[in-house]
Structure 1
């Protein structure tokens, strides 16, 4: 992971964006030595099907999930 100051990034932004895009390198942008921004390649979030598809048909429950739980927890 590379680190660069805001002032240096300004003149070389396109170069660093190409580095992130082509190599997936993450860049930390600093202001007076403190990290303020992380530049990373955009990644698509996996769909629900991709995350939980293997579990389809394997999860079992033995009660009605829509019944209130006031008896169990008491009234507030």
Structure 2
């Protein structure tokens, strides 16, 4: 965690934003007192979250269940009575 005053932040903002992008937290101070914090955004995008869910399901479905011929007549809802 880096602690800087507001003048330092104004002069070197791009450098501090790169630090935050790299995962480091930056605390902004005025007269030695912390007034704000810049933290990295760790939320996942919707796409990344969906890909994680798909990866978790990988290997749990057998393609033959859907594609293989059953060689039997479909009985509609007779099985659910």
Q: Structure 1 regions of 5+ residues with no counterpart?
A: 51-76
- Corresponding position of 2:21: 21
State the TM-score, normalized to the length of structure 1: 0.55
State the TM-score, normalized to the length of structure 2: 0.52
- Corresponding position of 1:2: 2
Secondary structure at the residue paired with 1:35?
Answer: strand
Whole-angstrom CA distance in 1 between matches of 2:2 and 2:8? 13
Tell me how many residue pairs correspond in the alignment: 46
Whole-angstrom CA distance in 1 between matches of 2:43 and 2:2? 23
Residue 44 (structure 1) shift: 1.0
Larger Rg: 2
Matching of residues 31-46 of structure 1 within 5 Å: 31-44=30-43
Whole-angstrom CA distance in 2 between matches of 1:31 and 1:7? 9
How well do the aligned residues superpose, as a CA RMSD in angstroms? 1.7
Whole-angstrom CA distance in 2 between matches of 1:3 and 1:25? 11
Whole-angstrom CA distance in 1 between matches of 2:8 and 2:42? 26
